[in-house]
Structure 1
Amino acid sequence: MGLFKKNPFGHILFLKKWLIRILGVITHARYKQFNKLEIEGSDVIRNLPDTNVLFVSNHQTYFADVVAMFHVFNASLHGRDDTIKNLGYLWKPKLNVYYIAAAETMKKSLLTKILAYAGSISVERTWRSEGKEVNRQVKMSDISNIAKALKDGWVITFPQGTTTPWKPLRKGTAHIIKQYKPIVVPVVIDGFRRSFDKKGLRIKKKGILQSMHIKEPLEIDYENESFESIIEKLEYAIEQHPSFLKVIPQEELLAYEEEHKERRWRKTKSGTSV
């Protein structure tokens, strides 16, 4: 690799490699020591092509989810079977992995800018901005950047656009799937909301069992399947379809509601928008 070789977004790959290595070493204990990450589906990762793969996942924190995926994907590609032990997999990380994130989130601090350089595709949310409801058109440059990332490698997206569970999926994901025809891999995560704060930067509680289930790619009829059908298929695959609420224990739902109320109270007390 040339010292100044760049990816399609102008990021220097040598620098990106070292950022992933350093961030990986710093964050590894969050999933291996302070908490335990249970993984299922490493073989799926190893059987994927190098480009045009879209990972679709539920969302629990801003950053801890995607950082865990970087660990799991690279460990799997280096022969680890459902484990992230032995940090050697960080020496040669897969550099063409991207994740879709809100532009306003990725611009807030030096740390988020560093995380953005490591692989984010920053997009402007069409429904919410700075804590307020908005209604604006999708930027075509955002769509073209997602297409560019798929052409170059793998893309991770959280189609609910929020860390609140069981919210409807954004239809833009179905449009991307029909237009660019990627291999669609569902990922289901759990335990991150209990382990970390909402941003996923601070460890909130130790000893939590986290889980990541990487499922087999979905069968999608790109030409004939409707947007609604694709969305419903994604909702079931990442276990966020409303029907799942019927089988979730009542105490778990109540615990989430209490946590959500507490978070809203803290934000209101600090004077931030909710």
Structure 2
Amino acid sequence: MPLFKRNPFGHILFVKRFLIQVLGIISHGRYRKFNDLQIEGMEVLRNLPNENVLFISNHQTYFADVASMFHVFNAALKGRDDNIRNVGYLWNPKLNLYYVAAGETMRAGLLPKIFAYVGSVSVERTWRSSGKDVKRQVKMSDISNIGKALDDGWVITFPQGTTTPFKPIRRGTAHIIKTFKPIVVPIVIDGFRRSFDKKGLMIKKRNVLQSMVIKEPLEIDYENEDVASIVEKIEYAIEQHPSFLKVLTPEQIKEEQEYREKRRFWGPESKTDEEE
């Protein structure tokens, strides 16, 4: 590879590789030591093509969610089965991996700018700016840049556009799916909101079960399926449809607790979600 080879966004690849390795080593303990990340479905990743894959996920922190996916994706491609033990999988990381993020967030300081170089496709939010509600047109350059990233590789997006759970899916994600026709892979994460602060930089609590479930690609009729139908599919796939906000019976609560105990690595959590 030429020393100064760049990706479609002008980022020098050996610099990107170096940043992924350094940040990966620094962050690894957040998913293996202070807390442990339980993963399901890594085999799905090995069956995907090298480009035009869109990952859709619920969102719990600004940066920890994406960082965990960089770990999981690279470990899977090195043959790991549902674990990220031994950070050696970052020796030759996947460089055509991107994530969609708010430009406002990625410009807010030196560290976010470094994270942006690792793979951010920065877009301007049409509904929120500087902590205030706004209404503005989608920038066509943002859509074009997402398409450019899909042409080059894999793209992670959080279709709710916020870390607040059960917020509506942004219809723009469905338009991107219909326009670029990517393979769409749902991911469901949990535990990050309890583990980290909102930015995902500081550890808020230890010994929390973190989980990531990678599901099989969605079946989508790109030509005939309308935007509303795709939005609904996304809601169910990432478990953010209103139907998931149900009142549990005592028996269901007991089953959920037993399920959590079965999956737990590090012992009981000190608080429930409701106590946070």
Alignment TM-score > 0.5, same fold: yes
AA in 2 matched with 1:214: I
Q: In 2 relative to 1, CA 249–170 (structure 1 residues): closer, same or farther, beyond 3 Å?
A: farther
Separation (CA, whole Å) in 2 of partners of 1:52 and 1:81: 23
1: distance between equivalents of 2:148 and 2:100? 12
Matched to 2:164, the amino acid is: T
Secondary structure (helix, strand or coil) at the match of 1:118 reads helix
Residue correspondence of structure 1 range 189-200 to structure 2 within 5 A: 189-200=189-200
Percent identity for Structure 1 against Structure 2: 74
Q: Aligned partners of 1:240, 1:187: CA distance in 2, in Å?
A: 11
Corresponding residue SS for 1:92? coil
Match of 1:80 in 2: 80
Displacement of 1:87: 1.0
TM-score between the two structures when normalised by the length of structure 2: 0.91
Partner letter of residue 136 of structure 1? R
> What residue number does 1:212 align with?
212
Q: Compared with structure 1, are the counterparts of its residues 213 and 247 closer, same or farther at alpha carbon in structure 2 (3 Å cutoff)?
A: farther
Mapped pair 1:100 → 2:96: no
C-alpha separation in 2, matches of 1:111 and 1:90: 20
Q: 1: distance between equivalents of 2:196 and 2:249?
A: 22
Question: How far apart are the structure 1 equivalents of 2:66 and 2:162?
Answer: 14
Deviations 1:150-178 (A, max 9, x none): 00000000000000001100000000000
**Paired residues for 1:171-250 under 5 Å:** 171-246=171-246
Give the AA of the match of 2:102: A
Q: CA deviation at 1:258?
A: 6.2
1:219-274 alpha-carbon deviations (Å, 9 max, x no partner): 0000000100000001000000000001568999x965664xxxxxxxxxxxxxxx
**Deviation string, structure 1 residues 96-137 (Cα, Å, up to 9, x no partner):** 000000000000110000000000000000000010000000
CA distance in 1, matches of 2:47, 2:109: 37
Equivalent in the alignment of 2:259: none
In the superposition, relative to structure 1, how do residues 234 and 212 fare at CA in structure 2: closer, same or farther (>3 Å)?
same
Hey, what does 1:21 align to over in structure 2?
Answer: 21
Q: Which residue of 2 aligns with 1:9?
A: 9
The superposition leaves residues 21-75 of structure 1 with CA deviations (integer Å, 9 ceiling, x where unpaired) of 0000000000000001000001000000000000000000000000000000000
C-alpha distance in 1, partners of 2:112/2:51? 25
Tell me how far apart the structure 2 counterparts of residues 104 and 257 of structure 1 sit (CA, whole Å): 30
> Which whole-Å CA distance do the structure 2 matches of 1:255 and 1:70 have between them?
28
Moved over 4 A (4+): 247-252, 254-259
Aligned to 1:150: 150
- Aligned counterparts of 2:117 and 2:86: Cα–Cα separation in 1: 25
**CA–CA separation in structure 2 for the residues paired with 1:239 and 1:27:** 27
- Report the secondary structure of 2:178's partner residue: helix
How many residues align structurally?
258
- In 1, Cα distance between equivalents of 2:227 and 2:112: 33
Alpha-carbon deviation of 1:2? 1.2
Q: Pairwise CA RMSD of aligned residues? A: 1.7
- CA deviations on 1:185-228 (whole Å, 9 max, x unpaired) are 00000000000000000000000010000000000000000100
Counterparts of 2:174 and 2:206, CA distance in 1: 37
- 2:267 maps to none
Q: Quote the residue 1:45 is aligned against.
A: 45
Aligned partner of 1:31 in structure 2 is 31
Is 1:115 the equivalent of 2:115?
yes
Distance apart, 1:10 and its partner CA? 0.1
Gaps of 5+ in 1: 260-274
Map of 1:267 onto structure 2: none
1:264 counterpart residue number = none
Q: CA deviation at 1:86?
A: 1.0
Which letter maps to 2:23? Answer: L
Letter of the aligned partner of 1:8 in structure 2? Answer: P
The aligned counterpart of 1:135 is: 135
1:90 corresponds to: 90
Distance 2:6 2:114 in 1: 16
